[in-house]
Chain A
Amino acid sequence: MIKTDVIIIGGGSTGCGIARDLALRGIAHHLIEKGDFAAGATGACHGLLHSGGRYAVSDPEAAKECIRENMILRKIGEKCVEQTGGLFVRLAGDSRRYRDRFLESCDAVGIDTELLSAGKAMDLVPKLNPSLEEAVRVPDCSIDPFRLCMLNAITSKNRGGVFHRHHEVFEFIKEKGRLAGVRARDRFTGEVLELRARVIINASGAWGKKIANLAGHDLPMTLSKGSLVITNHRLTNLVINRLRPPSNGDIIVPNEAVCLAGTTSISVDNPDNLVVGADEVDIVTREAGRMIPEFNSTRLIRAYTGVRPLLLAEGDATDDRSVSRGFRIINHQDGMYSILGGKLSTYRLMAEKMVDTVLKEVFEKTVPCQTADLPLEGQEYLSGYPLSKRLRDMKDIICECELVTRKDVESVIDRIGTKSIGDIQHRTRLGMGPCQGGFCTYRALGIIQEKGKITCDESMGALREFLQKRFRGIRPALWGDQLREEQLVEGIYLNIMNMEQQ
């Protein structure tokens, strides 16, 4: 049994942000995550660090938080934020009055805007639909959510924070009517971990309700599935938004060598085992294609879906997008707090408020928050964008798509002693390019095995698991060149490697 001050449930941006904040304020904590870092909504979003423009008209409060956090994150997270800038493009048929309201609202909440003619916009993003009317420039950024979580975790670990990944909470320990701790099961070994703390923070996002139910509570939240696609090219250097009230498929975000586009919005009951429908892929590519026509002919390398945990508004909410994107902290009055709602862009603010609350109400003290002032620790190991920075040491390339060398892979294994392919992917971008790990995962697992971190049997098991997961992501986008590549990958693993199900 382990005793600590705070237990955090959930290793998404909120949970990792809370861990970093607690660490910087000197509070001991353990974090429990049932999967890997950023396995929920955090890792399945656009990777858009909002300027706030998207919320300026409908939710000025959220917009204000966005722009403030945007300015903070670009300062503290240099290596996981790319300062791309963004455009809101108005296409033929999009309301001009909405544009006026948009400009006024941005101005009111302090978002810098610049109205650009169609020609100026095309100069910035040559692949834009030439029939656009005009565009508004805003300070959007692209952010790597995996790195963000990892870097927050590093600050925590540097100060004694402990992370239990792949542990699922299955029971709360109750004593004298209070929640005294949790029991979690290691999903690989089945071993049970018992943790006790003065306070438990439920930061499990879309799984928040499940966790609350386990403790005998309910949460006023609703789930909305959003699906996205990834192209094999970086079709734009700026974030592209559609200048209209938020709708399907109206955001395109450049991310390193690729582009992400989304999303859809469909109410769901269960956050697990979601699949992307062929119709969702068609909707997203069609809408993205209106802003950047090349979207209709470019190869998609993957589709994925995430679940937004949304705050249920008072009364009836009919449209998921009209539900507030703000966040709320709920004190369950029995030693547990839940933090729900919110978004990646405001994760730091959410963590700050959460830690302020437990410090005041549980620990009865005030320690100033430092998360906005200190840079994220551990960034010195990251390559950052652009890709050309990685060209210096071209010898022995393991992942041709993302130019990851054997040395890069080996140094991650040596530094953090990992045996997980996910850890290497998130730190080096191995397998995130057009072939989606079809060639390099075999190699990377071979290297982990050579280094003695896993057995031969484990490397084969991990390869199988990876291939199935990869297929799940690729399946909704299988046509054209991606289908070609998929059949080649099938040929390699099912025919040459003879890995077909016997």
Chain B
Amino acid sequence: MKTENYDTVIVGGGISGLMAAIDLTRKGKRVAVVSKGDPVCCLSTGCIDILKGVDSPMESICDLPENHPYHLVGTGGIDRAAGLFLSVMEEAGLSYVGNTAQNRYILSPGGTRKQTALVPESMAHGDMEENETLNVITFKGMKDFFPGYVTAKFKNAEVYEFDPGIGSTLGIATKFDDPVFREAFVSWFKSQGISGGKIAMPAVLGTKPRVFGELARELDRKIFEIPTLPPSIPGLRMFKALKTCLQDSGVDLYWGRAVKSVEKDDDAIEAVTLAGMGRSTRIEGRSFILATGSFVSGGLYARQDGVVKESVFDLPAHVPGNRESWFGHNFFETGHGIEKAGIRVNKWFQPEDTGIPNLFVCGSILAFSETMKYGCGHGMAIATGVAAAEKCEEYLA
């Protein structure tokens, strides 16, 4: 069995783990990232929500409950993380707009104004008031976008349908990567005689960065994307930009590999062994970062008997009461008890009550993060990812 050795081994290939990896790599550390598969952010809007329901996320962080992980990062840390994220995206040719001081709005596929902070350039024009004129371009046979849900809220809305010859979100987006297809689309668009107002399209305008920019130039109108039901192309673009950044800096990525066993030396974690198709790889690390996410990505697992398990290191997980108390009765109300479940950490992001000195935890697996309730999922991911990396670096020094 092959053994590799790293300064830091990051388990979890979502935004949080990737941001931690980028931060450590830029500080000269030898880093590996292990991921079971592509992360949950590929299903998200691609926007970075920092804190919803407020005008300024930065000014309102202090109002969060005192055990919220944002307090461990602090506003300065959130800003540093956002800055790093924006520069990585810029380098990838996937520009974002917005900042941490002021929330902005995009148009949701439900026709409502959705609050968020950092927004891909392709959604920059998505802040629409109900009395504005909206033109929606829809794609024939597309099954995860129906313009009716969007236009219901608008008094002046027109819908135009283009036939891309394929119905899946990824299929249409891949077609947009092709300049010949784009040319056909542009000439169809110009023949429609679409009058004033902004032009919205489901988020399928290319899987690659820069496709949107080119299309916007050719169409010469204020166009923007509306996020779709999963799979989400803007989420995928963001994930690919982060991953490419790491690949370009020579970070070892163990993709499609799950941690099979963990070795400890006294209290410290020494190595993890990865399962693979007929082969195992043992990876030694001086330090480890756990960024496996919450339930959806499988970082946490809730059992019928009311116990919540952490999947990789079997860390003690905080459980908010018995099973009956995990969920309220109203689907449309966030803040279900189960959102508080996760790993409790000290101010160095080390798991409480374990005595493990070289493990740092970040992202939505952190207890009390309540990402649905506070609309802080990706914001928490980048902020705690970078903050945990900083603590890890201090430890390595």
For window 324-345 of chain B, which residues contact chain A by CB distance below 8 Å? 324, 326-327, 329-334, 338
Indicate whether A396 sits within 8 Å of B229 (C-beta atoms), given known contacts A460-B110, A484-B298, A497-B109: no
Give the residues in chain A near B331, CB-CB below 8 Å: 467-468, 470-471, 490, 493
B interface footprint on A460-496 (CB within 8 Å = 1, 0 otherwise): 1001100110111001001110011001101111111
CB distance from A41 to the nearest CB of B (A): 23
Selecting from B85-93, B139-147, B190-198, the interface stretch reads B139-147
The yes or no answer to B230 lying at the interface (CB within 8 A) is yes
A464 lies within 8 A of B332 (CB):
yes
Interchain CB contact (< 8 A) of B146 among A277, A442, A484, A488: A442
| Closest B residue by C-beta to A483 | B302
- Complex interface bits, A100-123 against B, C-beta within 8 A gives 1, otherwise 0: 000000000000000000000000
Q: Which of the candidate stretches A363-371, A416-424, A451-459 sits at the interface with the other chain?
A: A451-459
What are the residues of chain A within 8 A of B114 when measuring CB–CB? 498
- CB-CB under 8 A for A487 and B304, given A467-B331, A497-B110, A499-B110: no
Say yes or no for B369: interface residue by CB 8 A criterion.
no
A467 to B326, CA, bound (A): 18
A-chain residues with CB within 8 Å of residue B273 when the two chains form the complex: none
Q: Is A380 close to B, CB under 8 A?
A: no
Q: For A296, give the chain B residue with the smallest CB separation.
A: B304
Query: Which residues of B have CB within 8 Å of A487?
Result: 294-296, 372
**Interface residue from A275, A406, A484, A497 paired with B295 (Cβ < 8 Å):** A484
Given that A456-B149, A487-B295 are contacting pairs, would A494 and B232 also be in contact in the complex, using a CB cutoff of 8 Å?
no
Q: Does B350 contact A (CB under 8 A)?
A: no
Instruction: Specify which chain B residues have a CB less than 8 angstroms from the CB of A285 in the assembled complex.
Output: 304
**In the complex, what's the smallest C-beta–C-beta distance from A279 to chain B, in angstroms?**
9
Question: How many chain-B residues does the 8 Å CB contact rule pick out?
Answer: 49
A455 touches B152 (CB 8 A): yes
A393 contacts chain B at the CB level, 8 A cutoff: no
Looking at the assembled complex, report how far the CB atom of A25 sits from the nearest CB atom of chain B, in whole angstroms: 45
A285 to B334, CA, bound (A): 28
**From residue A209, how far is it (CB to closest CB) to chain B in Å?**
27
Distance between A479 CB and nearest chain B CB, rounded to angstroms: 5
Prevailing SS type, chain A contact patch: helix
Residues of B within 8 A of A471 (CB): 330-331
Q: In whole Å, how far is A64's beta carbon from the nearest beta carbon of chain B?
A: 40
Residues of A within 8 A of B43 (CB): 488, 491-492
Q: Does B112 contact A (CB under 8 A)?
A: yes
Identify which of A446, A499, A501 contacts B148 (C-beta below 8 A).
A446
Q: Does B111 contact A (CB under 8 A)?
A: yes
Contact of B296 among A443, A470, A488 (CB under 8 A): A488
Q: Does B99 contact A (CB under 8 A)?
A: no
5 closest A-B pairs by beta carbon, nearest first, are A446-B146, A456-B152, A471-B331, A498-B108, A497-B110
Chain B residues engaging chain A, CB cutoff 8 angstroms: 40, 43-45, 49, 108-114, 141, 143-144, 146, 148-149, 151-152, 167, 227-230, 232, 294-296, 298, 301-304, 322-324, 326-327, 329-334, 338, 372, 375, 377
* 11 A-B pairs (CB sep. < 8 Å): A278-B322, A442-B149, A447-B146, A459-B148, A471-B331, A480-B304, A483-B326, A487-B295, A488-B296, A496-B45, A498-B108
Interface residues of A (CB under 8 A from B): 275, 277-278, 282, 285, 296, 396, 398, 406, 439, 442-443, 445-447, 449-450, 455-457, 459-460, 463-464, 467-468, 470-472, 475, 478-480, 483-484, 487-488, 490-501
